Chain A
Amino acid sequence: MDFMETRNCRLSEIDFTDRSFPFSFGEISQKLIESIKQVGLLQPPLLQAAATGYKIVCGRRRLEALRQSGVDDVVVNFFAVPAGQIKELFRRALWENLAQREFNPVETADIYNKALEIFSEEELRREIKPALKIPGRERFHKRYLAITGFSAELRELLAAGIIDLESVDLINGWNDSELGALIELIAETGLRRNKLREVINRLDDLARRDRVSPCEPLAAACASVRDSDGKIDINALRNQLKVKLYPHLTTAREKFAGKLEKLSLPADIRLESPPDFEGGEYRLSFSFSDRRQWQDSCDKLNSIVLDDIDEICSRS
């Protein structure tokens, strides 16, 4: 790119609303603002001439940080790009960004969606998708298309890592009011990442199973787990959804707990059901550190009435 030139420009000449090169999304870190206040910009941003003023190609965060620091004059690298060479400029910005940092999911989605307009299918497959770590399968294409269409609030939650990418696939089909209910739940409970994904997964399964909106099981579960202050207990909510999704398994666990209680095993002897009652093999364990403890445990086990063991193992 031999048509690059370094020059001074004013921030007021830069169009911050233009997203032709959508390489950053999310909060500007205070560290960056502080660094710029202390030592200024070490590397000039890249700009492209627009009809009036300039578009940001690369360096949006630095320019935002400058703006927030109250600076107006900046040294930039300026490209006068002939029509048709936008692809090269985009590519340069992509790789320059990649050399510095990882993109968050919203940035990846925005870049990918922009790249879909600029690059051929072959270029996307060979260069852009691997660069953005987007696997080739259709589901990932749909995932990143969906993110760009999400509301600003949802995009913020994704960019901040509160909602993860696997959850995106599930909420992709949810309508605005369903997504609104989810955002409200996140705001109210502080649920994030793994636990949030588990809740979304269960809501999605319940909604599919009963062919209802995810709002229905969510509202029902929330209503039953609010404490006296009206706050939602996250663990109770997770458990409530699990009970709704696994009614037979829940009943079996409750039955087993009742039988175990009837057995009155001492605290140091542990009897476990088969995992999810699959396979029919129960597990008994106790710990001991000498002959006396061993004998004690054996005596206690020998005192168990065999009919009670039949009861434990009964599958009816």
Chain B
Amino acid sequence: MKSVPDPDYRRSLFYPATVLVEEGAADYPLTRSILSRLKKAEVVSVKRPAGNDFSNLSRLYSPQTTLFLAPHRGRFLKACPGTAETYRCCLYQILHLGLGCNIGCSYCVLQGYLNNPFITQFVNLDDAFAELDTELGKPGVFYRIGTGEFTDSLFMDPLTDLAPRLIDYFGTCKNAILELKTKSVAISSLLDYPGEIGETVVSWSLNAPSVTAREEGFAASITERLQAAALCRERGYRIGLHFDPLLFFPGWEEGYRQTVAEIFKYLKGDDIIWISIGAFRFMPQVKDVLRDNHADCNITAGEFIRGLDGKQRYFSEIRRQLYRLLVTEIKKYAPEVFIYFCMEDKCLWQDTFGYAPADNAELGRWLDECCWRYAANG
């Protein structure tokens, strides 16, 4: 087994000063295990928040330094919210195990979506696995499932130790693939995992180095992410890469070229199961929130139009320029790698690739086939 060369791989990006434990959550093994790793944190028991309670709690406990542990009462497995059918979505499934992260990306649309201001970990894991047992038992359906939609999959994994449990579970699944998406390098539990890792994909969100430095808070640098990706690949994980959100800024061409070149210093085309691309988009009401939270940030002050789904998107010509450059650059290094767009119009597919999925189901199938092909080729 590969030894972990960098202490950062063992470090959580989040060490809360306070842990709010919702009544009924204290007895779950995950709660006990997290609290055992946070000996110095103040632990406060709270009732199940309702109404304005989250707002009141956030006056008493800073959301930046507080972790909220609670059982999740809804469904754990949800269809990715995606967007209107006018844009192509890949029919991804989200395993909803937590909310929020402390990386602090200026462009994070979660800032405008979540009414719970605290980084939240759901602790009733057995309920999640029971639901997965039922759902994944359906014959003839293949699932691509990720945990990195409403949170970062690994940013506090050294505290939760969730990744190995998920790998355990999905390692034996024949009809599902797990994707862990992150901007961190907290991969020690992945590297140390002793068993068969099955079809688990570890994915990194990438951007131009200047965007990472300016807009991505505490995230690891691009080079650090790719070094971590190389270690994960060496350990046998499939690697996914996500260029989302692409930003249009002075010098964008050089910035994205640099990142693509950097990828292939650490990975070969064959190491990568898929690369997704999506230009920055946001619901109109999120603009004020992003500006409130990041006063100096100018990413919403671009040439945005109202998309067919009601979201603000770069004017299509700008997206076309972004996509063409990125796809051309990637194909120079890895002509065979599968690249797809996240929530994009079929015209942009056509203009960039010369083909477009007929509908969401077809795009979903293409990605499913990637998983099978990859599995077959090892």
Contacts and interface: CB of A to CB of B under 8 A. Distances in A.
A209 B301 contact: yes
Interface in B124-155: none
Interface in A167-208: 169, 173, 204-208
Contacts, number: 61
Contacts of A245: 303
A101 interface: no
Contact of B315 (A138, A205, A277, A279): A277
Contact of A252 (B86, B306, B317, B346): B317
A283 interface: no
A11 B238 CA distance: 84
Q: Which 3 A-B pairs have the closest CB atoms?
A: A208-B301, A276-B305, A208-B298
27 contacts: A121-B59, A136-B52, A138-B292, A139-B288, A139-B292, A205-B301, A207-B301, A208-B301, A209-B298, A247-B303, A248-B317, A248-B318, A249-B303, A249-B317, A275-B308, A276-B306, A276-B315, A277-B315, A277-B317, A278-B316, A279-B86, A279-B345, A279-B347, A280-B345, A280-B346, A315-B316, A315-B347
Interface of B: 52, 55, 59, 86, 288, 292, 295, 298, 300-303, 305-308, 313, 315-318, 320, 345-347, 351
Interface residues of A, number: 26
A278 B307 contact: yes
Nearest to B289: A139
A311 B268 CA distance: 41
Interface string A14-53: 0000000000000000000000000000000000000000
Most buried by B among A206, A211, A276: A276
Nearest to A211: B298
Contacts of B317: 248-249, 252, 277
Contacts of A121: 59
A211 B288 CA distance: 18
A278 B303 contact: no
A114 B367 CA distance: 60
Interface string A269-296: 0000001111110000000000000000
Contacts of B302: 209
Interface string A54-76: 00000000000000000000000
